[in-house]
Chains A and B, each alone.
Chain A
Amino acid sequence: MASLDSIRQSIHESDADVGGDDAEIIPADADVEDVCDEEVDTVRSLIEPFPDDKEGVIPALQEVQGEYGYLPRFSMQLIADKAGTSMAHVYGTASFYSQFYLEPRGEHTIKVCTGTACHVKGADEISEEFCDELDVELEEVTDDGQFTVSHVRCIGACSLAPAVMVGDNVHGNVTEEKVPDVIEEYRGDDA
């Protein structure tokens, strides 16, 4: 049996940072003091309905991200204040879950499913085609701020693989030919 030490040793140092560590750098975005009152009020009213303790943190993060598309630093500070917890806890929670984004995203995130059924049916080619068509890398924002291409593991439409999700809409049986049509459906639409 391989000992843990030998496993550790054989991993490149730079590769050994798979999640789990608290020592992450908090992005240098604006603090609450640097943001205008209106923004602060917007976030306050968004998170108002959730419990004033730690239980409310994830639902509040979900609500703010629903509005902003990502989690501005000041919003996490406001959430921490309301829940009576630390910024480190809120940030640690947000960075743990793949659903939360700490950087701005395109208005529409095109989530290409790379789950098993979609993988078998060529999800990688579909993902590349979206990136080529929009001229971006994965997780980047297009120049016009409209799109980000991202991956997701199974959206539950496996029988229509390969599948893609944009907002709450699922597109099934996506082919490389259909990629431009899917993009056009959302372009310029500011929903």
Chain B
Amino acid sequence: MSTLLQSDSLEEITSIEDLEALKRDGLDSLYPGKTKVLVGMSSCGRAAGADDVYDVLSDELDGAENAIVGQTGCLGFCDREPLVEVVEPNGQSIIYEEVTEDTAERLADAITRGDLPEGGVLAGRLHHEARSHDYDVPLFDEVPFYAPQERVVLGNSGLIDPEDLGEYVARDGFFALEEVLSSYTPEEVIDEVKDSNLRGRGGGGFPTGQKWEFLAGNEADEKYLICNADEGDPGAYMDRTLLESDPYSVIEGMIIAGYATGATHGYMYVRAEYPLAIDHLQNAIETLRSVGLLGDDILGSGYGFDLEIKKGAGAFVCGEETALMASIESERGMPRPRPPFPPQSGLWGKPTNINNVETWANVPQIVLEGADWFADIGTDQSGGTKVFSVTGDVRNTGLVEVPLGTELETVVFDIGGGTTGGDFKAVQTGGPSGGVIPEEYGDTPIDYDTLSELGSMMGSGGMIVIDESTCMVDQSRFFLDFCVDESCGKCPPCRYGTKKTLQILERITNGEGEAEDIEELRSLGDTMGEASLCGLGQTAPNPVMSTLDYFEQEYWAHIEDEECPAGDCELGGGAHANTYKILHDECVGCHQCAKACPVDAISGEQGEVHEIDPEACIGCGQCVEACPLDIIEVRGGEA
């Protein structure tokens, strides 16, 4: 689907002049002097129907003199997909949301007439050299969803065609590599990364420059780099989106690290459930080989690096670095004790450095803009931004990139638009290894250390907003169920501890809990945390421990009153404060509320007056949200 450039038609790139020539071509492709219609075609976009929208637009605009259709990646506002951006020749653009085949057809008509429709607009944007906007639409950085964000890692996502090397180079891609190869010593690269305060985005937050230094310091005939794209947190999709939307930036980061550390071969370990990411990576690797940016003697420097993809085989524990390496070696993906650490003895026993996708993608920007610039964006302890996938009971779900140090509330309320149903209760971060941060700590600045102090962790970037209709015991049960499935079974504390913990949680959510259970959960958690071999087992108790810390009364309500205060888990108990009522006189029977209700508490055929069954209702408030006429009343309680 690549527009102008094809890998086999590209010239070899051996000098900065070649790179500059490709940049000019890339700019022509990005801004072709006519209207450019960009369809967001990451997995989310496709799942929402972007393929059909793309087909309609290309058919309708086929042969049009004044417009051309192209693909791009993720714009971040994933729940408004399919997103289509129309960039006019002067650089001003309008982004349309929730585009259907019908609206795409109308859009194409309008474009042919040299016109742009007013409905369905998400925002406007200024591209390239444009400085002002003729249309009366809010601009990208004025929309509440985008205003607090800073797109460093996602700078190219939703802008360039991820399959087009020229468009990446047009955004200064590979100029960082050129600069490094032509004017930095390996030590200077490492110093730059250390000064930037970049910390690993895979969850642990280890300083990246320091890791590279370990690897550089170990002599060997072969050293390896690995990109960890196993993205195991079941509710996080930053890495997938980044690989789909801007694969070249990740690869450029790896080549720069290769030069800095003396590694010459890299692996990208990608989850098999991410076919589009694998596709785009494969295309990128082949294109780079064909132009000589992967292989021997890159840009005439004498330094050579090559890269291959390994598909994961579906085990969460393979996100752990030693298990991941075992998996690349086609062994069962089980962790092994450290030391030796990978920089001493890693893949095939050779020195190895492993970083997360997002960590790699930051590297070219640090070189281009400087370590100080990067360090200034974040906090004193951690430089730069972090990408989060914000999901759950929140109005705007999507990929969000904010400077480290941004308050949690900014993400939940300003960007996320607040909760969908009931009141904001907590944010879950770090997935199955993390915990919850309750509403009263909403002003916490997001950083590795602040989140750990509160008993959660940064994790890889999943952020699940929880409102009062979610049962915390059930939430813990969900994560423990996950850990029981995913424990590799190698060490007993994890294998038995996760099972035992799950059994207790199941008992409690079934109303069969006992007073001793609370103590037992805590003690099991301590044992697992201390005695497990790898991070999976060590952190598996976190969801339980942190909900016990902040919501212990919910556990007691299940045990002593046999009631679920949130009215959510098996126990039900419907102790929610509000009652919901549809104003019968005004109901038009659109059926939207019934579709939204998660527990099928609303009856009524299309076109007939609908009714809520108060017994079944769990008070989540989804129906209020869904009703286009706003005729569902909330009564009583604390509303």
A92 within 8 A of partner (CB) = yes
A121–B276 alpha-carbon span in the complex (Å): 24
User: A122: which B residues are within 8 A, CB to CB?
Assistant: 598
Q: Are B274 and A55 in contact (CB under 8 A)?
A: no
A54–B330 alpha-carbon span in the complex (Å): 6
Residue-wise interface mask of B (214-258) relative to A, using a CB-CB cutoff of 8 A (1 in contact, 0 not): 000000000000000001111111001100000000000000000
A75–B389 alpha-carbon span in the complex (Å): 40
Q: Are A4 and B478 in contact (CB under 8 A)?
A: no
A152–B235 alpha-carbon span in the complex (Å): 12
Q: Are B391 and A159 in contact (CB under 8 A)?
A: yes
Tell me the minimal C-beta distance from B83 to chain A in angstroms: 12
Q: Are B391 and A117 in contact (CB under 8 A)?
A: yes
Q: Are B273 and A155 in contact (CB under 8 A)?
A: yes
B552 within 8 A of partner (CB) = no
A178–B469 alpha-carbon span in the complex (Å): 25
Q: How many A-B residue pairs have CB under 8 A?
A: 192
> Closest residue of chain A to B501, judged by CB?
A7
A156–B314 alpha-carbon span in the complex (Å): 14
A106–B325 alpha-carbon span in the complex (Å): 32
Q: Are A62 and B313 in contact (CB under 8 A)?
A: yes
Q: Are A18 and B237 in contact (CB under 8 A)?
A: no
Classify chain B's interface size.
35 or more
User: A38: which B residues are within 8 A, CB to CB?
Assistant: none
Residue-wise interface mask of B (300-321) relative to A, using a CB-CB cutoff of 8 A (1 in contact, 0 not): 0000000000111111100000
Q: Are B47 and A8 in contact (CB under 8 A)?
A: no
Tell me the minimal C-beta distance from A157 to chain B in angstroms: 5
One of B54-62, B379-387, B392-400, B447-455 contacting the partner:
B392-400
Query: Which of these, B236, B313, B332, B464, contacts A99 with CB under 8 Å?
Result: B313
User: A21: which B residues are within 8 A, CB to CB?
Assistant: 489
Q: Are A8 and B234 in contact (CB under 8 A)?
A: no
User: A57: which B residues are within 8 A, CB to CB?
Assistant: 330
Tell me the minimal C-beta distance from A93 to chain B in angstroms: 6
One of B18-26, B88-96, B521-529 contacting the partner:
B521-529
Interface residues of A in 126-157 (CB under 8 A from B): 152-157
Query: Which of these, B48, B237, B313, B500, contacts A97 with CB under 8 Å?
Result: B313
Q: Are A158 and B235 in contact (CB under 8 A)?
A: yes
Residue-wise interface mask of B (395-415) relative to A, using a CB-CB cutoff of 8 A (1 in contact, 0 not): 001110000000000000000
Tell me the minimal C-beta distance from B526 to chain A in angstroms: 5
Interface residues of A in 69-101 (CB under 8 A from B): 83, 92-93, 96-100
B36 within 8 A of partner (CB) = no
Tell me the minimal C-beta distance from A47 to chain B in angstroms: 12
Tell me the minimal C-beta distance from A140 to chain B in angstroms: 19
B490 within 8 A of partner (CB) = yes
> Closest residue of chain B to A20, judged by CB?
B489
A55–B444 alpha-carbon span in the complex (Å): 46
Query: Which of these, B47, B233, B595, contacts A154 with CB under 8 Å?
Result: B233
A169–B428 alpha-carbon span in the complex (Å): 28
User: A92: which B residues are within 8 A, CB to CB?
Assistant: 332
> Closest residue of chain B to A7, judged by CB?
B496
Tell me the minimal C-beta distance from A131 to chain B in angstroms: 17
A11 within 8 A of partner (CB) = yes
One of B126-134, B286-294, B368-376, B480-488 contacting the partner:
B480-488
> Closest residue of chain A to B315, judged by CB?
A97
Tell me the minimal C-beta distance from B450 to chain A in angstroms: 22
Q: Are B272 and A161 in contact (CB under 8 A)?
A: no
Q: Are A172 and B44 in contact (CB under 8 A)?
A: yes
A41–B383 alpha-carbon span in the complex (Å): 55
Q: Are A154 and B311 in contact (CB under 8 A)?
A: no
Query: Which of these, B44, B397, B492, B526, contacts A1 with CB under 8 Å?
Result: B526
Query: Which of these, A7, A99, A116, A163, contacts B47 with CB under 8 Å?
Result: A163
Q: Are B499 and A156 in contact (CB under 8 A)?
A: no
Tell me the minimal C-beta distance from B533 to chain A in angstroms: 12
Q: Are A2 and B524 in contact (CB under 8 A)?
A: yes
User: A152: which B residues are within 8 A, CB to CB?
Assistant: 273
Known: A7-B500, A159-B398. A96 touches B44 (CB 8 A): no
Query: Which of these, B392, B399, B497, contacts A120 with CB under 8 Å?
Result: B392
**From A15, A62, A114, A160, residue with most partner B Cβ within 10 Å:** A160
A187 within 8 A of partner (CB) = no
Q: Are B272 and A159 in contact (CB under 8 A)?
A: no
User: B333: which A residues are within 8 A, CB to CB?
Assistant: 96-97
Q: Are A56 and B595 in contact (CB under 8 A)?
A: no
Tell me the minimal C-beta distance from A106 to chain B in angstroms: 18
Tell me the minimal C-beta distance from B474 to chain A in angstroms: 10
> Closest residue of chain A to B465, judged by CB?
A120
Q: Are B44 and A160 in contact (CB under 8 A)?
A: yes
A111–B234 alpha-carbon span in the complex (Å): 14
Query: Which of these, A4, A58, A159, A169, contacts B78 with CB under 8 Å?
Result: A159
User: A121: which B residues are within 8 A, CB to CB?
Assistant: 598
> Closest residue of chain B to A167, judged by CB?
B275
A172–B47 alpha-carbon span in the complex (Å): 5
A42 within 8 A of partner (CB) = no
Binding site for A on B (CB under 8 A): 43-44, 46-48, 78-79, 81, 231-237, 240-241, 271-276, 310-316, 327-334, 389, 391-393, 397-399, 428, 431, 462, 464, 470, 478-479, 482, 484, 486-490, 492-493, 495-497, 499-500, 503, 520, 523-524, 526-527, 530-531, 595, 598
Other A-B pairs beyond A21-B489, A58-B311, 9, CB < 8 Å:
A8-B492, A8-B496, A58-B310, A83-B330, A92-B332, A96-B334, A100-B313, A120-B393, A156-B274
Question: Nearest 4 pairs between A and B by C-beta?
Answer: A20-B489, A116-B235, A115-B234, A159-B78
